[in-house]
Structure 1
Amino acid sequence: MYLFFDASALSMPAHWKAAVEDTYHWPRLVHLAWELVDKDSNIIETASKLIKPAGFEIPYSSTEWHGVDHDVAMEQGEEISDVLKAFAAVVRKAEYVVAFNMQFNEMIVGAEYFRANIPNPLVAAEKICLMRESTYFCKIPAPGGRYKWPSLSQLFQKCFGHKFEGANEADKDVRAASMCFFKLLELDELDVF
């Protein structure tokens, strides 16, 4: 089974090469979504969890990016420890864990596991970065004759010929990533197995 996940955070990291334990550099998680999908692309389990802010505020500038409002998160959000435990349980069910931009998603979630003093299940997981794996398929030119990493919107456009609604919202991004992954498998465009 494949577990697709996406994390929305307060901002971009202050330092991309910081260790997950260096939590000053990793912004807080505000929304975590996932889909557990079988090899035939049937959705087995799906979740979209807003995080109740504890010790931080979600600024409007952040809300504009990912759509998570501070007041809504306070009212409808769940405790971070409950979300992390639920996510750990679903990670254990998956053969592969897939994210678009695995480094960002893994580090945001990993920093929250560290803050909560809960073992991080992603450490031992077999991971696939859809962004990196789809670079050659998208073939977006970059300086020096290379290809740049695509955005999820660019990959979706290339796979399906149209954009998807709700880009940068964790639940919409995870659905789009899952659809793109199975399209790339169908086209024999993934070199991960």
Structure 2
Amino acid sequence: MKDYLLFIDIEASGLPKDWEAPYSEEGNWPHTVQVAWFVYTQDGQEVKQQNHYIRPDGFQVSPESIGVHSLTPEFLNANGENREQVLLRLQEDLQHYRPMVVGHFMQFDFHVLSADFYRAGLPSPFEKLPVFCTMIASSGLTHLPRKKFLRLGELYSNLFHLSLENQHNAVVDARAAAQCYFELRKRRVITDATIQRQQENRYTTQKKPKPGFKSSYSIWLVAGLGAILFILLLFYWL
């Protein structure tokens, strides 16, 4: 078990068009516009907190996303930092504390940040660290037939009987994820075994490029030749 936990949340410029696409695919993966992280010890002592806005250099923030997190281009240009500098700060803390990285809907944060690291020409630090998702861990708390996972605000309300104010601010959401994690630990919804199971089924930054025309053509060619050979053998034996 790691000595430290790093709770992270991001706000982004949009949503991925294709979750299976490689990070190199132009225009597929959104950009991080705000990232916040909190470092805690295993017993719940806060060690460090960081919050950074990122200037939208070379990309646009979708109107739908602005409607969710209210981070306009004007605000980000006035308050944002250089993307690479923010990523280097995050990388530095991940390398220093070697934590387990925790988030709610961690798959989104993991891939969007990994795409940002790729675009900045930096190796993703997540690949060598354990990651854990409170959304997956708390799936047993929902009793609605068609709802498998709870949103962060729903989980927070379920655990503390309070509404989560100012959601879709990365600072608020990262801290709330930490509060939910420690409460789920206390209730033994999250155990060492739960954490280990997520590591065995974790996602990876190694996304393979999609097969192009040539490789697809080759697959069909091989399949076609195989079918012809089968028919010839069938006639031979008959």
Q: Same fold (TM over 0.5)?
A: yes
Q: What one-letter code is carried by the residue in structure 1 that aligns with 2:153?
A: S
Task: Out of 104-113 and 18-27, give the one that drifted further.
Answer: 18-27
5+ residue gaps, structure 1, are none
Give distance in 2, aligned partners of 1:174 and 1:132: 16
Q: Report Cα offsets for 1:24-60 as digits up to 9, x if no partner.
A: 2111111111001111211111111000110123344
Corresponding residue for 2:103?
Answer: 99
Corresponding residue for 2:166?
Answer: 166
Residue 86 (structure 1) aligned with residue 86 (structure 2): no
Q: Report Cα offsets for 1:131-157 as digits up to 9, x if no partner.
A: 101111x224234xxx51110011101
Q: Which has the larger radius of gyration?
A: 2
5+ residue gaps, structure 2, are 197-238
1:61 deviates by 3.3
Corresponding residue for 1:43?
Answer: 46
Corresponding residue for 2:148?
Answer: 148
More strand by share: 1
SS in structure 2 of the partner of residue 171 of structure 1: helix
1:170 deviates by 1.0
Give distance in 1, aligned partners of 2:111 and 2:84: 16
Corresponding residue for 1:119?
Answer: 123
SS in structure 2 of the partner of residue 25 of structure 1: coil
Corresponding residue for 1:128?
Answer: 132
Corresponding residue for 2:61?
Answer: 58
RMSD, aligned CA: 1.4
Does structure 2 conserve the Cα–Cα contact (< 8 Å) formed by 1:3 and 1:35? yes
Does structure 1 conserve the Cα–Cα contact (< 8 Å) formed by 2:14 and 2:64? no
Q: What one-letter code is carried by the residue in structure 2 that aligns with 1:39?
A: Q
Corresponding residue for 1:192?
Answer: 195
1:99 deviates by 1.0
Kindly tell me the number of residue pairs found equivalent between the two proteins.
189
* Identical positions, percent: 26
Question: What is the TM-score normalised by the length of structure 2?
Answer: 0.75
SS in structure 1 of the partner of residue 27 of structure 2: helix
Give distance in 2, aligned partners of 1:122 and 1:158: 30
Give distance in 2, aligned partners of 1:32 and 1:141: 32
Corresponding residue for 2:213?
Answer: none
Does structure 2 conserve the Cα–Cα contact (< 8 Å) formed by 1:36 and 1:94? no
1:129 deviates by 1.0
SS in structure 2 of the partner of residue 58 of structure 1: coil
Corresponding residue for 1:20?
Answer: 23
1:192 deviates by 1.5
